[in-house]
Amino acid sequence: MIIAPLRGQPTPSLLARVAAGQIGGVLLLGNEWTSAQTTAAAVARLQAVACRRGSPLLVGVDQEGGSVRRLPWAAPTLAAASMGTATEAHAQAAAAAPALRQARVGIDFAPVADTISTPRSFLGTRSFGSDPSLVADLASAFVTGLQSGGVAATAKHFPGLGSAVASTDDRAVTISRSAAFLTARLAPFKAAIAAGVKLVMVSNASYPALDPSGAQAVFSHAIVTGLLRDTLGFKGVVVTDALDAGAVAHVPDAPARALAAGVDLMLYSETAASETGYASLVHDAAVSATVRAELAAAVQQVNALKAWLAAHGGATCS
């Protein structure tokens, strides 16, 4: 359930964690990914160890285009705001898929499905725009372009960060918009789900109009299970935004709380935090039958994603 960061060739300690079954995947970060060959070699070393346990790792990257592009040699070349049309969004994503596949990457943590709702938005050009209908068209086209090439897409950051003026990576963020306002901007997520998006990333912000408890979306059963799963009908994998981000890093038992909300994968951007998250989840599972049942349900979701990736030319342990 744990996605750990990978910033270069895997270290002995990371390989040992893979061998021990302590991580379920990696997120490519940093500036070391200078070619498809370099990236594929690092992933191959990890997968060889993972496959001794019988199941490949999930390998993901933030490859949105524009300023958020961990693989500088791969598409998308354009930022979301510059794509303009569904045809262009589809083409950019379709060009990214074979490049990611060549690097042995199966998941793109894109597209941003947030609708810009303030000129002060921290998202800038990462969003397709300020019109929910346009964002819906382009986000679904991006999803289709990626997934037709065998790379799983991720609609983020549910239920929307378009009103945020600060990043949840840095500090706590509360979206103080009405339920009607927020619901109107779910259109891109609905379109992505209709297009078959394999993952949805949940925001680390809180949305009092959708969950009066004030819990961040990633820990909110009302938002993850009630809204995303039950109301919108999403059946795929729910992944956290970084659980070591400033908005949520202080929350105790964060992985178990996310699981209880309906999340399947826990994403970390720092190695030490991913180790702490794993230890926390092991402890909570040992003392709680509820956590163990939630883990079993999440494993089914993750295995279904791995099966889809394998069927589309992704990693296998045959």
Confidence of residue 91 (pLDDT cuts 50, 70, 90): very high
pLDDT tens-place string over residues 254-266: 999 999 999 999 9
Q: Which residues of 184-217 are buried (b: 16+ CB within 10 A; e: fewer)?
A: ebbbbbbbbbebbbbbbbbbbbbbeebbeeebbb
Q: What is the mean pLDDT of residues 11-40?
A: 97
Q: What is the mean pLDDT of residues 167-172?
A: 92
User: What is the number of structural domains in the chain?
Assistant: 1
pLDDT of residue 283: 97
pLDDT of residue 318: 79
Tokens found for residue 213: 């408890």
Q: What is the mean pLDDT of residues 235-252?
A: 96
Q: What is the mean pLDDT of residues 101-114?
A: 98
Within a domain: 317: no
Confidence of residue 19 (pLDDT cuts 50, 70, 90): very high
Contact partners, residue 311, CB within 8 Å, separation at least 6: none
Q: What percent of the chain has pLDDT over 90?
A: 99
- CATH of residue 102: 3.20.20.300
Q: What is the mean pLDDT of residues 1-7?
A: 97
pLDDT of residue 7: 97
Within a domain: 181: yes
Q: What is the mean pLDDT of residues 101-111?
A: 98
Within a domain: 318: no
Please confirm whether the linkage preceding 76 is cis (ω < 30° from 0).
Answer: yes
Q: Is 311 exposed, middle or buried (0-12, 13-18, 19+ CB in 10 A)?
A: exposed
Q: Kindly report the average pLDDT of the chain as a whole number.
A: 97
Cα→Cα distances 93→29, 116, 178, 261, Å? 20, 21, 33, 30
Q: What percent of the chain has pLDDT over 70?
A: 100
pLDDT at 102 over 90: yes
Within a domain: 316: no
Within a domain: 259: yes
Q: How many CA atoms lie within 13 A of 51 on its CB side?
A: 10
pLDDT tens-place string over residues 32-63: 999 999 999 999 999 999 999 999 999 999 99
Within a domain: 117: yes
Q: What is the pTM of this model?
A: 0.97
Closest CA relative to residue 304, chosen from 44, 105, 55:
55
Look up the domain containing 126 and give its range.
2-311
pLDDT of residue 101: 97
Within a domain: 200: yes
pLDDT of residue 161: 97
pLDDT of residue 236: 98
Within a domain: 251: yes
Q: What is the mean pLDDT of residues 176-191?
A: 98
